[in-house]
Amino acid sequence: MAFNKKEFAASFLNQVSDNMSDMREEAKAFKQKQIEASERNKSLISTRTARASAAVSLGREALEYLPEGARSKGIIRTAMASGMTGVSELRDKLAKAHANAGLSAGEKLSINDVEAIINMPNIPDINSEYIDMPLEDFAKQTYGATAEAPEFKDDTNIVGRLFGFGAMDRAREQLGKTEYGNGMSVADINAASRLAEFNALIPNAVMSFSDIKTFSKTEAFTFAKDISEMYDDAKESKEARDEAEKAQQLLIQKAIDDGRKQSDVTTAEIIEARSIATEVYARGQVEDYVNLFADQYGAVGGFFNQQIAMNQIDKLMGDGYLDILKGKHGLDVKKSDSAAVTDGSKDSATEEAKMKELSYPPKEEQSNVTQPIADSLPDDKLRPGGAEDIGDFGNAKARIWDRKYGARYNPDGTPIIVEPRPTDPEATTMRLSGFSNREKSVNAIEEWDRKYKKTHNPDGTPMKLKGD
């Protein structure tokens, strides 16, 4: 049978035409299917967008309670990344703490108050990219409300297009350019729908919250009664009498050193010296108890809002003491408060000055003491980054070094050598209170142990710990 060119050509063209039609129909069907899918997915994306918007709103509310800075931004983003309800819990905890602290709108919690409420072990590891990212974008990515589909571009030439080639790529390209709601294309909506409902941008982000212990009115009454009884008991104690006797002897010794006779010291002078010593001792005992409650409850626990407790502290310790205590716990001291210096507080200041004048150290010959020597750290264990300030989000390795070596070695590895441990069990030294800014006499050995026992040897050299 002879070859028929016309029949072959007709058959070929029909086949090509069928293939062209199939490719175009397939692309058309795919495009329609994607559009229909995006229509269904729009409600899902809308729900996620609403969730992201709510998170942003809660995050901004939380920021109103936090101090300014990158650390606060990191806290908000860590809360979002810690779970679906993280930022909501954070806002509620901060709002409660703000109210307990008696702060007005616009006033910020201190970072110490914030850290007493929340625990964020991974806060130093937050990528700066996320810190600087707009909160809206961070929330949308976290809650799966946004995505960018892969870009498609049809580069089929004109001849190829005539034969139907590239039809699917053209369909995908059109889907990526066709806006279908909220600034997202059909392809973007469908891509976002395939994301998980929650996507933690900060790996292993953890945020836990501490229950805020509240200082109630009932506890305030009990506290006021306790410090009053403690104050009275301390003034009548043997220890107070010992302090009074010591002050009397110091007064007499000072008079003799000034060229006076012991008989020249008047009864009034002795009574005053003994009274001051007794008062200072009693206040020192009360101070330890006050500090315990202030540390336990602080501003966020409402300790400073219970007026009956504050009034009793003022009565026993003076206005200046309470102002300093408030400042140490992140509360601004109002000008009206700091300016209100009563006669009692003036007397208190005078008493403290007189005690300092009396409590001079004895005149002793200083012995020649050889400075102890200790080895430096090896070069591979020096502080990462040297002595540079690491800030809130700096070198995590430097933070670890500080916790391990910071009390014993300088950043360059040289040892920190302190004074040797006292040997006289009766020796005393003066300790400056961090809250009252007053000095009080304490046992020298106990004070050394408090400051250095965990980090230094009795000769003052740093301890060699495991791993050094």
Q: Give per-residue pLDDT as tens, 418-456.
A: 889 988 888 888 776 544 456 677 888 988 888 888 899
**In the prediction, which pLDDT does 150 show?**
62
Residue recorded with tokens 């050995």: 445
pLDDT, position 15: 52
H helices present in 372-437, as ranges? 396-405
What's the confidence (pLDDT) of residue 346?
A: 40
Helix and strand element counts for the chain (H, E):
18, 6
For the chain, the average pLDDT equals: 76
Closest CA to 81 of 40, 52, 111: 52
Token pair for residue 187?
């392809």
Task: With a cut of 90, say whether residue 12 has pLDDT above it.
Answer: no
Residue 350 has pLDDT above 80, yes or no: no
Q: Predicted confidence band at 348 (pLDDT cuts at 50, 70, 90)?
A: very low
- Map tokens 């330890």 to a residue: 288
d(CA 326, CA 121): 28
Given a cut of 60, is residue 340 above it in pLDDT? no
The structure's pTM equals: 0.44
Classified as helix, coil or strand, 395 is coil
User: Where exactly are the structural domains of the chain?
Assistant: 5-209, 217-358, 379-452
| pLDDT tens-digit readout, 149-205 | 666 565 555 544 544 445 566 666 666 666 766 677 777 777 777 877 788 888 778
Please give the distance of CA 107 from its chain centroid, rounded to a whole number: 17
Per-residue pLDDT tens digits for 45-97: 878 888 889 999 999 999 998 988 888 888 898 888 888 788 898 999 888 88
Q: Which residue has the higher pLDDT, 197 or 271?
A: 271
Taking the C-alpha atoms of residue 327 and residue 33, their distance in angstroms, rounded to an integer, is: 65
CB 195 within 8 A of CB 238: no
Instruction: Give residue 243's identity as a one-letter amino acid code.
Output: E
Distances (CA, A) of 259 to 253, 264, 389, 455: 10, 10, 54, 46
Asked if residue 137 has pLDDT above 70, the reply is yes
DSSP-derived pairing of the beta strands 184-185 and 208-209: unpaired
Reported as a pLDDT band with limits 50, 70 and 90, residue 223 is very high
For residue 368, CA distances in Å to 363, 420, 460, 462 come to: 16, 13, 16, 22
